[in-house]
Chain A
Amino acid sequence: MTKRWMEVFMAKGLLIIDKERCKGCGLCIAACPHQVLAFSGELNRSGYNVVHAERPEACVGCAFCALTCPDVAIEVYRARVPA
């Protein structure tokens, strides 16, 4: 039952954003087809308004944000396809 629940409801993608690398340019926000990302309002040590995953449940792990990120701050993981 738990496994089934995981397959159906768990987010398919997962983003890990390196806050210290992020320069808050917002290109990933524009690139995301599912409006997952948004500015967090939190400043990093360089003073940039960093991006966070505001709707992580909508992420499908397409990696468009990571492809667009000029500072290579985003790592993307995707759930294994159930066998």
Chain B
Amino acid sequence: MPVSTEKMVKVFGRPASLTEARFTYCPGCHHGILTRIIAQTIDELGIVERTVGIAPVGCAVFAYLWYRCDAIQASHGRASAVATGVKRANPNLIVFAYQGDGDFASIGTAESIHAANRGENITVIFVNNQVYGMTGGEMAPTSLVGQKTTTTPDGRDPALFGYPIRFSEMIAQLDAPVYVTRQALYDTKRIMDATKAIKKAFTNQLEGKGYSLVEVLATCPTNWRMKPTEANKHVAEVVTKVFPLGDLIDRG
């Protein structure tokens, strides 16, 4: 049925910075919401011409297909290091690194921590879904105690595998970062809060303030073996107990 929108005001549509390509994420995955939020922020700040995105290795490896800005696909874990290089080579560019937990908090630990410690003027989006999504649901350093993954079929045992790492708290100990926050996307209010946090992280970079990190608690309904709505509930009730939401530092 054709519908007439002549007498209506458009209140929500696809951000102009998003391409027409369809996301390759599973149904209900929060990566898509986050990609949309970043594109919307780029639109609002009017910086699409001079933004460079750094794609990680993981489910978001195709991030360069979805934005109308330039992008580089970094080696596994090295997105913060590549972002440092791009930003130092041309400080006029707005650089954001988009990394998952296996990328940022596991293989890229050294690069991530030292980019933060140097206070590079970049924006890092850290998507924490407590599992290695793309490779088939293996345990990540952020997996919760007792969480069943393909490599911990009986649940994560701290005696064998250690405890979930709170990476944002580690980075918040450093002197250089300007803004470190943890957000979630499990309901509309959190999505609005995360949108504000990401806008702030980009604004900090535009104003030359320094390193901003936005950790986002995301779901992985496929590897958590849950329905998307159950996964949202799991984040709200279980994950946020281990990874509390809110600003860790804000020196902006």
Contact = CB atoms under 8 A, between A and B. Distances in A.
Contacts, number: 86
Given A14-B3, A27-B228, A27-B232, A78 B8 contact: yes
B12 A70 contact: no
The B contact surface, by secondary structure, is: mixed
A71 interface: yes
Contacts of A24: 27
Contacts of B25: 70-71
Nearest to B9: A78
B29 to A, nearest CB: 6
B148 interface: no
Interface in B16-42: 18, 22-23, 25-33, 36
B8 A25 contact: no
Contacts of A75: 10, 12-14
Interface in B197-218: none
B127 to A, nearest CB: 13
B242 interface: no
Nearest to A14: B8
Contacts of B191: 67-68
A64 B9 contact: no
Interface residues of B, number: 33
B227 interface: yes
Interface string A50-83: 0000000000010110111111101111111000
Of the listed residues A27, A64, A71, the one surrounded by the most CB atoms of chain B closer than 10 A to its CB is: A27
Interface string B215-232: 000000100000111001
A30 B229 contact: yes
B90 interface: no
Contact of A76 (B11, B187, B188): B11
Interface of B: 3, 5, 7-15, 18, 22-23, 25-33, 36, 187-188, 191-192, 221, 227-229, 232
